[in-house]
Structure 1
Amino acid sequence: MKKLKWAFALLLVGLLIFGYINYPKLNLISGYASKNLASNVFLAQRDAYFVNTVDHDMPLINLANAEVDTGKKSASASVFGLMERTAVYKEGLGAVLTNTEHQKHNFSIVPERNQKRDTLPFPYGNQGDKDTLMANVDYDALEFTLTRAMQDSVQKTRSLLVVYKDHIIGEKYSNRFTKDTKILGWSMTKSILGTLYGILEYENRISLKYRPFQALYNTDGPKSQITLDHLLRMQSGLAWDEDYFKISDVTKMLFLDSDMTMAQAKNEVIAPPTELWNYSSGTSNLLSGILRKQFSTHQEYLNFPYSKLIDRMGMYSMLIETDLEGNFVGSSYGWATTRDWAKFGLLYLHRGDWNGDRIFADSWVDYITKPTENSKGTYGAHFWLNAEGKYPDLPRDLYSANGFQGQRVFIIPSKDVVIVRTGLEEQSDEQFNTLISDILKTIE
């Protein structure tokens, strides 16, 4: 009996220690579950049960109990009844996690969209595909490659789209997903945000030599030397911990902060600019905040991505969610259909020219694909690169927008190809190397 009591006591102590260590994480778990559920249900129009049982079937997140309130357009989640978090949805802005400050958010100011009806086929319109077969494409082999990738239950691919010479030559979707399903790009949103700076530069409204800390925050110390170029290349020298499996800079920013643009700005300088390359979602949201300060009103800021890029190209499904202060969460929360993600890739394949409408300078592509110092040839300016052969069987000129869970827009200029892959499971470099190589082999 004494041994049993001791065993029970030790178990109780162990549970208390485990609870003490992990209790703060419950905030992040319930925050992720409620935010993700609200966005998927109200923005992407997906089934709540499917999101809870499939999308949230991952370590720790599967501990959350999340429910939707359709009347209030919100979703709430808790872990064993503890640390409940609620996310609310506003048309035009997306879903946002609430906290004690959420009543300050002005939900009445939303982007003004200009979504014209068109009669053009993809990619310059939304009225179907060009009816074209190309003699140098092995369609049977491509179909086999895409089908095999979709059937791999481990990789959990949700959509695959192959565009060659502006034509869709292959397109596949998993169960419950279609060409009209909006999919979260996660960090592919960073490439959208970076492009907005390319537009500002093309319009002579900003310089990449601009020093935001000196100009906006009256900083005279080491931060004053940081330029937009340093931020776009993730080499500012500011401290940042990008770890999604613990309480870190990035998880606190995404699930606790009302103003996500200030998380990186508050951190200390740990190295001179260019000396250290450090991937940072906080840097992208800092850039979103700097972008906002280029406009005299909040409305102008909210309109800018849509009027100058998104709606201008007919990517009408795309939406970038905001934080509680009305800032675009440029690090993580861009949504679009697979076809609209492909249009973004095609804009870069055409070096900023969209059917005769120049959106950014031709030279901007050279800038974002120039390898950043100390990144080992894998990073440019808010785009990922293959400059050093990370994918050994793929062209070195390949570059991509990358996101969590294996979201990708691959741009391959030498092959005149854009490939979009979305899914629920992160893929290794080896897996992507094989998939993209097999796809390219079907085009002679």
Structure 2
Amino acid sequence: MKNLKFLFLLLFPIFGCEKDNAVVIPPVQVESMYFPSNTDTAWETKSLASLGWNQSAIQPLKDYLIEKNTKSFMILVNGRIVMEEYFDDHTATSSWQWNSAGKTLVSTTTGIAQQEGLLNINNKVSQYIGTGWTSETLAQENLITSKNLLSMTSGLNDASNLVITSNLTYLADAGTRWSYANVFQKLMDVVGAASSQNFEAYFNAKLKNKIGMDGFWNNGIIFKIYNSNTRSMARFGLLALNKGKWKNETIINETFFNESITTSQNINPSYGYLWWLNGKPNYMVPGGQTVYQTSLVSNAPSDMYAAMGAEDQRIYVIPSKNMVIIRMGGASDPATPNFALSGFDSDVWQKINAVIN
């Protein structure tokens, strides 16, 4: 017992000294997520220097964007503007078409209608818009659900992007073939019928106005196309970064949004509900059935999901970096038309990586 007491007295000063001289490590300060006001044009900014980015790589990025017919380019980090550039007489108030990047607006609005109990994406499309909307047999048509439209697996003929009944002929059973086509726009009819109003009115009330977007849907040559200024596209990207939450309000529930940015079928792993997904083992592109054995944009972050439209309209969302990147403009390569992925993606990410890494 005496030995134990002696040992205790011997060690106590040491322990006490370690406690007295302990290094106190301050907690890491995590920057809060910022959301711009819905009622004015104020938007917080953050300097490149504060992020430790390579400022000497900014001009080469700008030069590339100008060379590739870009109208506007934005980078947000934690919701704050780090870079906002306009080219070719385009301004912060100019509108530009989203093209197929606007498909993600339709996906989100469909999810909102489901969370309100107006529809179920697993139900057949004809339950909402009636039979005879395709030129298939009734049995074939009734296989097509809204989920098939969201995942591009309707099985309908993709020879024409003009969505009229005579073009919507049978090619495969729904769910057995992935093919990028404009038949997704029938979701707008489904939402309209389910909500007893036109799609745009429902979209405006439940999504656009909730996050302070401007913009409008116009009737394009082939389908309705959304038009807005660049900051409105960035607002939607910020909503997507936050998995459907805007400030303290849930616009689209996180469960549905997570489904949207998860592989939606077992044919093209790089496609969710009208969102493109990076970091998957392979991908397919519009206009063919070729499977490419690599990720969508191999030099971009693997957790990136993206809204992609013709002529390189882009919303890149990168959760691991709390980052949203927007690009609007003309086709980067007018000689090579594309509906989604193009050489622009890997080239611009090479330039972006030089800035942020």
Contact 2:36 2:42 in 1 (8 A): no
1:121-172 per-position Cα deviation (integer Å, ceiling 9, x unaligned): 96334423315436224262453243222331xx211111111111110111
1:304 aligned to 2:222? Answer: no
Q: Secondary structure at the match of 2:195?
A: coil
Matched, 1:291 2:210: no
Is the contact made by 1:371 and 1:387 (CA closer than 8 Å) also made in structure 2? no
Task: Name the amino acid aligned to 2:204.
Answer: Y
- Map of 1:38-49 to 2, 5 A cutoff? none
Query: In structure 2, how many angstroms separate the alpha carbons of the residues matched to 1:303 and 1:215?
Result: 18
Equivalence for 2:313: 407
Cα deviation code 1:204-246 (max 9, x no counterpart): 22111111225542464111111111111010111122xxxxx
Q: Are the equivalent residues in 1 in contact too, given 2:192–2:202 (CA < 8 A)? A: no
Higher relative contact order (CA 8 A, sep 6+): 2
- CA distance in 2 between partners of 1:229 and 1:361 (Å): 17
Note the alpha carbon deviations across 1:338-375, whole angstroms, 9 max, x for none: 11101111101000100111101111222112224355
**1:140 and 2:55 correspond:** yes
Aligned to 1:168: 81
Q: Structure 1 131/323 Cα, relative in aligned 2: closer, same or farther at 3 Å? A: closer
Alignment partner of 1:319 out of 216, 223, 228? 216
Q: Distance in 2 between matches of 1:392 and 1:297?
A: 42
Normalising by structure 1, report the TM-score: 0.62
The answer to whether the Cα contact below 8 Å between 2:241 and 2:319 also exists between their aligned partners in 1 is yes
Aligned residue number for residue 117 of structure 2? 204
Q: Cα–Cα, structure 1 residues 239 and 122, in superposed 2: closer, same or farther, change >3 Å?
A: same
Which residues in structure 2 correspond to 1:162-241 (within 5 Å)? 162-214=75-127, 216-218=129-131, 220-241=138-159
1:264 Cα deviation from its structure 2 partner: 5.4
Which residue in 2 is equivalent to 1:273?
A: 174
| Residue ranges of structure 1 left out of the alignment (5+ in a row) | 1-120, 242-248, 254-259
Q: What does residue range 281-430 of structure 1 map to in structure 2 within 5 Å?
A: 281=182, 283-298=183-198, 301-316=199-214, 318-322=215-219, 331-373=223-265, 375-388=267-280, 389-426=295-332, 429-430=342-343
Q: Which amino acid is the alignment partner of residue 254 of structure 2?
A: D
Please tell me whether Structure 1 or Structure 2 has the larger radius of gyration of its CA atoms. 2
180 and 189 in structure 1: CA distance in 2 versus 1, 3 angstrom threshold: same
Equivalent residue letter for 2:59: F
Distance 2:98 2:321 in 1: 24
Shift of 1:276: 0.5
Answer yes or no: is 1:150 the counterpart of 2:68.
no
The alpha carbon displacement at 1:184 in A equals 0.7
Aligned-residue RMSD, C-alpha: 2.5
Question: What CA distance in whole angstroms lies between the structure 2 residues aligned with 1:437 and 1:123?
Answer: 29
**Aligned-pair CA distance for 1:434:** 3.1
Please give the per-residue CA displacement for 1:325-345, whole angstroms capped at 9, x wherever unaligned: xxxx8x541001111101111
1:338/1:420 contact within 8 Å kept: yes
Are residues 139 and 130 of structure 1, via their aligned partners in 2, closer, same or farther at CA, if it must alter by over 3 Å? farther
CA distance in 2, matches of 1:432, 1:128: 30
Note closer, same or farther for the CA distance 1:277–1:356 as it changes in structure 2 (3 Å cut): same
Q: What is the rounded CA distance, in whole Å, between the counterparts of 2:272 and 2:45 in structure 1?
A: 36
Maintained 8 Å contact 1:186/1:407: yes
- Report the Cα offset of residue 265 of structure 1: 7.8
Alpha-carbon separation, structure 1, partners of 2:267 and 2:207: 28
- 8 Å CA contact 1:139–1:169 kept in 2: the answer is no
Q: State the AA in 1 paired with 2:94.
A: T
Give the SS at the match of 1:168. strand
User: Which whole-Å CA distance do the structure 2 matches of 1:145 and 1:168 have between them?
Assistant: 19
Q: Secondary structure at the match of 1:232?
A: helix
- 8 Å CA contact retained: 1:162, 1:171: yes
CA distance in 2, matches of 1:191, 1:226: 20
Aligned partner of residue 201 in structure 1, secondary structure: helix
- Partners of 2:72 and 2:228 lie apart in 1 by 12
Total equivalences in the alignment: 296
**Cα drift, residue 378 of structure 1:** 2.6
In structure 2, list runs of 5 or more residues that go unmatched.
1-33, 133-137, 281-294, 334-340
The answer to whether the 8 A contact 2:144-2:174 is kept is yes
- Structure 1 CA distance for aligned equivalents of residues 200 and 298 of structure 2: 41
Kept in 1, the 8 Å contact 2:153–2:177? The answer is yes
Q: Distance in 2 between matches of 1:310 and 1:274?
A: 31
Contact 2:128–2:194 (CA<8 Å) still a contact in 1? Answer: no
Q: What do the CA deviations read for 1:68-97 (whole angstroms, capped 9, x no partner)?
A: xxxxxxxxxxxxxxxxxxxxxxxxxxxxxx
* Matched residue type, 1:356: N
